[in-house]
């Protein structure tokens, strides 16, 4: 029986950028929900003679992510060809980055103070999307190339994460940062942010084979997948004693219904991809002035916003939610009457559109009684306590006095209470 088990977890996070066009062509990058293969051209389909032209906005957005994650920006960088053959890759290779990524050597700090080192932040093109369906009573795989060529940022951590809790916190912080930067919506249901944990274990000084889990689209699923891998690898080691080597790396998928991982293929190494510099795109020179300009335009990051919110007296849990919106801090600073807890609740329940006017929406949604039952209850209790004779008359059958009680509560709330809620609560309390 094993005694000391330490998970060794690294995380790769893929983020689709919300630029207007794809990475190397003028096709629209907004592919979700569009008719299959309607947003393609010779470039993103890899047709002979088509030449890629880099998207400047995507490059700048990637640098922005790197700076937010305390990375160094490579002033000299280039794109590479990553060779592999899969149906969703029309060219037979992916334009990516290998030895000179846009950004490298960063870190992200967890709430505990622990720093998770970041190996690289690089830019590449996304692949097409396979669709496995039944057609004419036969299971087939179709390919939609609308996603092919969409700018995709890969954020790669060092294996510094030692628990599911740390992994989940790290992923949520990455998600909050890229959203705050405005470079992506990072909607995981739409595949705009995909999670790929890499896991092995240190068991009493022995290291289990490395496993990479592919394309997970939820923080909870990532946590469940990691937990399953810890159990699976522990059991496998106790049975076979197999240890890590260069040849036994695996790529596995995660079945969210069965809550298990499953083998997809043996994991490739860098040499298997036969990287070489992309011949159709010249090397890039990122001048210090460009980096300085991007740095100067950076918004406040979530951790800084959270600190300011807490300084205003906002509870940490509410501050975490409110930090998701760029205007929430300004709203609270300029409107002390807006309750942070109520505002965060409305955001969580998706009753407020974060892209719209928060203050205006808040005022419409905070009718006392409709959303703030605690305050309404206090008003009703006060009115009933101040009018014992009216209460007694109501209980004797004189229901006409109900109008007086409702009017008193509405007056006390300065007309902000929801009349229907007032009526229902008074009747309930007088039963």
Q: Helix 56-68 vs helix 164-181: angle between axes, to the nearest 10 degrees?
A: 130
**Considering Cα of 311, then 317, then 318, then 323, what sign does the dihedral take?**
positive
Query: What percent of the chain is predicted at pLDDT more than 90?
Result: 62
Nearest to 425 by CA among 356, 375, 358, 363: 375
Query: Does position 324 have pLDDT exceeding 90, yes or no?
Result: no
Task: State the pLDDT at residue 357.
Answer: 75
Phi then psi dihedrals of residue 14, to 5 deg: -105, 125
- Residue 369 exposure: Cα atoms within 13 Å on the Cβ side: 21
Cα distances from 262 to residues 86, 203, 212, 259, in angstroms, run 19, 22, 11, 10
Assign 366 a pLDDT band (cuts: 50, 70, 90). Answer: low
- CB distance 322 to 340 below 8 Å: yes
Distance (Å, rounded) from C-alpha 127 to C-alpha 86?
Answer: 10
Task: State the pLDDT at residue 354.
Answer: 65
What's the predicted TM-score (pTM) here?
A: 0.81
Which range, of 20-29, 88-97, 115-124, 306-315, averages the lowest pLDDT? 306-315
Query: Does position 52 have pLDDT exceeding 90, yes or no?
Result: yes
Mean pLDDT of 206-212: 95
Query: What percent of the chain is predicted at pLDDT more than 70?
Result: 95
More confident residue, 25 or 320: 25
Q: Kindly report the three-state secondary structure assignment for every residue of 353-416.
A: CCCCCHHHHHHHHCCECCCCHHHHHHHHHHHHHHCHHHHHHHHCCCHHHHHHHHHHHHHHCCCC
Pairing of strands 211-213, 250-255: parallel
Mean pLDDT of 242-255: 90
Which range, of 16-30, 104-118, 328-342, averages the lowest pLDDT? 328-342
What kind and span of H or E run contains 105?
A: strand 103-109
Mean pLDDT of 321-339: 79
Assign 100 a pLDDT band (cuts: 50, 70, 90). Answer: very high
The torsion defined by the Cα of 143, 146, 151 and 156, in degrees rounded to 10, comes to: -30
Residue 223 sits at the vertex; the CA angle it makes with 101 and 182, to the nearest 5 degrees, is: 45
Domain ranges of the chain: 5-289, 300-362, 373-429
Q: What is the residue-averaged pLDDT of the chain?
A: 90
Task: State the pLDDT at residue 119.
Answer: 98
Nearest to 217 by CA among 245, 184, 270, 175: 175
- CB distance 181 to 65 below 8 Å: yes
Query: Does position 292 have pLDDT exceeding 90, yes or no?
Result: yes
> Cβ contacts of residue 91 below 8 Å, gap of 6+?
46
Distance (Å, rounded) from C-alpha 137 to C-alpha 222?
Answer: 34
> Cβ contacts of residue 65 below 8 Å, gap of 6+?
15, 103, 121, 153, 155, 177, 178, 181, 183
Assign 355 a pLDDT band (cuts: 50, 70, 90). Answer: low
Assign 368 a pLDDT band (cuts: 50, 70, 90). Answer: low
Distance (Å, rounded) from C-alpha 169 to C-alpha 252?
Answer: 23
Mean pLDDT of 323-351: 77
More confident residue, 35 or 417: 35
- Mapped onto helix, strand or coil, the DSSP state of residue 235 is helix
Which range, of 234-248, 329-343, 394-408, averages the lowest pLDDT? 329-343
Q: Name the CATH topology of 373-429.
A: Arc Repressor Mutant, subunit A (1.10.10)
């Amino acid at each position: 029986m094993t005694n000391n088990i330490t998970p060794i977890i690294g995380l790769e996070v893929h983020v689709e950028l919300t630029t207007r066009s794809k990475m190397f062509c003028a096709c629209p990058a907004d592919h979700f929900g569009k008719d299959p293969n309607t947003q393609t051209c010779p470039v993103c389909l890899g047709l002979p003679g088509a030449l890629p032209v880099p998207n400047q906005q995507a490059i700048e957005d990637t640098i922005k992510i790197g700076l937010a994650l305390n990375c160094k920006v490579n002033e000299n960088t280039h794109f590479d060809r990553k060779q592999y053959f899969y149906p969703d890759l029309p060219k037979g290779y992916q334009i990516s980055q290998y030895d000179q990524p846009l950004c490298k050597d960063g870190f992200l700090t967890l709430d505990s103070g622990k720093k998770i080192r970041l190996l690289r932040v690089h830019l590449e093109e996304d692949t097409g999307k396979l669709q496995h369906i039944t057609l004419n009573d036969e299971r087939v795989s179709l390919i939609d190339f609308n996603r092919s060529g969409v700018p995709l940022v890969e954020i790669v951590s060092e294996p510094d994460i030692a628990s599911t809790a740390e992994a989940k916190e790290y992923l949520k912080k990455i998600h909050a940062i890229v959203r705050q930067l405005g470079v992506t919506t990072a909607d995981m249901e739409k595949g705009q942010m995909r999670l790929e944990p890499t896991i092995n274990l240190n068991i009493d000084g022995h290291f289990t084979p490395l496993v990479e889990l592919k394309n997970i689209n939820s923080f909870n699923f990532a946590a469940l997948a990691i937990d399953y891998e810890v159990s699976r690898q522990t059991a496998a080691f106790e049975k076979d004693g197999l240890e890590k080597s260069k040849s036994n790396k695996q790529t596995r998928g995660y079945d969210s219904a069965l809550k298990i991982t499953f083998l997809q293929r043996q994991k490739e190494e860098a040499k298997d991809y036969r990287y070489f510099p992309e011949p159709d795109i010249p090397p890039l020179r990122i001048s210090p002035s460009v980096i300085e300009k991007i740095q100067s335009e950076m918004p406040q990051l979530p951790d800084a916003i959270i600190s300011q919110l807490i300084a205003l007296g906002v509870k940490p849990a509410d501050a975490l939610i409110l930090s998701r919106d760029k205007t929430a801090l300004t709203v609270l600073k300029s409107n002390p009457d807006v309750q942070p807890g109520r505002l965060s609740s409305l955001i969580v329940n998706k009753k407020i559109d974060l892209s719209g006017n928060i203050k205006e929406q808040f005022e419409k949604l905070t009718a006392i009684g409709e959303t703030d039952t605690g305050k309404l209850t206090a008003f009703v209790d006060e009115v009933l306590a101040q009018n014992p004779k009216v209460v007694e008359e109501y209980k004797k059958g004189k229901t006409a006095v109900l109008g007086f009680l409702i009017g008193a509560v509405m007056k006390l709330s300065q007309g902000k209470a929801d009349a229907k809620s007032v009526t229902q609560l008074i009747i309930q309390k007088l039963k």
